[in-house]
């Protein structure tokens, strides 16, 4: 029995190494991408008749936001197209998985927009890496504000897709913002619940201690402007190998190895926890009355958050939970077989709930 267990463990390690090697191979050609895109099949240049990428910027209040708009092949600004707002994962930037899904949905005929959250990536805002739910939710409203005025967009047909942490913030934004005619999430991550309770509810005994640290950090900011950070700035191969959960181990591999981007980081201000730990993506989710599609990997150790949110969305006009068989959380970000299945499902969903002007 011990030999079998060792063989299984060795097999799992080999499969993980193959996945990393595959991702690195796919990513190699994007390292010098003109637009900084770090995903397989990324646009290398804008060509007539093809899906194009447009680097844009706008302000949310006083903060300058950096965003990318993707337009479909044979885009004609005199026509009307449905648009999809896409919110990136925690720690992610628009050049990673959110950009991949934006490009793929543009290939399906939609105008898409993905932006770096305020205080993060190439967007402005101080202190850097602030990660507060109100701001992240406003980022989603702000993308809608911008894209409804974009040439060719049918402002009556706007959908929204949130990935990982962006999925949780998308559920919150769509509760009140009825400009979003349909809502989709991929590998949804409830940031407030995890910052409060720990991943898989593993830190229930230290909530008050962590709130005290966040309060002390806010105090430092107030007294002398010193910013205290939580999270992970860098990680060694040994630390990655020792990480027990798939989400974090594969997340470190994705963000710090295979799909690394200079603007992407797992850091966030410690004082952000004051807001995060009292917030929950599923609070008042019954306000969602639009069609809802939630996608998750069947083997994702984060799937419990999608299940919980899905069950609570009792007033959605229609709702579907779609599982990517065999996928972990991070594999839905980049692995071609899972991305292809997810894009196919998203395209079908948005085609049914939004209208494309041929």
Give domain limits for the chain: 41-190+280-353
**b/e per residue, 50-61, with b = 16+ CB within 10 A?**
ebbbeeeebebe
Q: Is the pLDDT of residue 22 over 90?
A: no
Instruction: Supply the pLDDT for residue 3.
Output: 40
Torsion of CA 38, 41, 44, 45, to 10 degrees: -130
- Please report how the helices 165-176 and 303-312 are oriented relative to each other, as an axis angle in degrees rounded to 10: 10
Q: Is the pLDDT of residue 356 over 70?
A: no
> What mean pLDDT, rounded, does the chain reach?
92
pTM of the predicted model, to two decimals? 0.91
**How far apart are alpha carbons 89 and 116 in whole angstroms?**
10
Structure tokens at 71: 């337009």
Q: Is the pLDDT of residue 148 over 80?
A: yes
Averaged pLDDT for residues 173-178: 98
Strand partners, 230: 268
Q: CA 157: distance to chain centroid?
A: 22
The single residue listed with the structure tokens 């995060």 is 276
Averaged pLDDT for residues 152-171: 98
Q: Indicate the pLDDT class of residue 16, thresholds 50, 70 and 90.
A: very low
Instruction: Supply the pLDDT for residue 32.
Output: 83
Percent of the chain at pLDDT > 70 equals: 91
More confident call, 28 vs 316: 316
Q: Is the pLDDT of residue 25 over 80?
A: no
More confident call, 203 vs 7: 203
Averaged pLDDT for residues 67-78: 97
Which runs of E-coded beta strand occur in the chain? 52-60, 63-71, 81-87, 111-115, 153-163, 180-186, 229-230, 268-269, 292-297, 319-324
Instruction: Supply the pLDDT for residue 9.
Output: 41
Considering the domain 41-190+280-353 in this protein, what is its CATH number? 3.40.50.1820
Q: Indicate the pLDDT class of residue 7, thresholds 50, 70 and 90.
A: very low
Instruction: Supply the pLDDT for residue 355.
Output: 74
């Amino acid at each position: 029995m011990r030999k079998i267990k060792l063989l299984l463990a060795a097999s799992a390690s080999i499969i993980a190494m193959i996945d990393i090697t595959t991702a690195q191979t796919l990513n190699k050609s994007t390292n010098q991408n003109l637009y900084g895109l770090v995903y397989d099949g990324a646009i290398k240049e804008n060509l007539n008749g093809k899906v194009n990428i447009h680097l844009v910027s706008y302000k949310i209040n006083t903060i300058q936001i950096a965003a990318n708009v993707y337009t479909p092949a044979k885009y004609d600004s005199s026509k009307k197209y449905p648009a999809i707002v896409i919110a990136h994962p925690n720690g992610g930037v628009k050049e990673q998985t959110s950009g991949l899904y934006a490009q793929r949905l543009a290939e399906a005929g939609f105008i898409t927009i993905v932006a770096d959250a305020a205080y993060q990536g190439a967007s402005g805002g101080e202190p850097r890496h602030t990660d507060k739910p109100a701001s992240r939710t406003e980022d989603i409203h702000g993308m809608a504000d911008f894209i409804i005025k974009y040439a060719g967009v049918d402002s009556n047909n706007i959908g929204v897709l949130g990935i990982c942490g962006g999925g949780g913030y998308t559920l919150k934004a769509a509760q009140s913002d009825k400009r979003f005619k349909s809502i989709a999430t991929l590998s949804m991550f409830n940031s407030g619940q995890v910052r409060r309770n720990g991943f898989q509810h593993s830190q229930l005994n230290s909530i008050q201690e962590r709130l005290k640290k966040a309060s002390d950090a806010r105090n430092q900011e107030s007294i002398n402007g010193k910013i205290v950070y939580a999270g992970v700035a860098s990680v060694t191969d040994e630390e990655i190998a020792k990480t027990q959960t798939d989400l974090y181990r594969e997340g470190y591999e994705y963000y710090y190895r295979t799909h690394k981007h200079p603007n992407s980081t797992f850091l966030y201000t410690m004082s952000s926890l004051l807001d995060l730990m009292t917030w929950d993506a599923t609070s008042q989710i019954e306000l969602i009355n639009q069609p809802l599609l939630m996608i998750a990997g069947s083997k994702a150790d984060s799937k419990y958050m999608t299940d919980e949110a899905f069950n609570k969305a009792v007033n959605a006009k229609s709702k579907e939970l779609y599982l990517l068989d065999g996928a972990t959380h991070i594999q839905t970000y980049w692995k071609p077989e899972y991305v292809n299945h997810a894009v196919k499902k998203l395209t079908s969903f948005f085609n049914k709930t939004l209208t494309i002007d041929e």
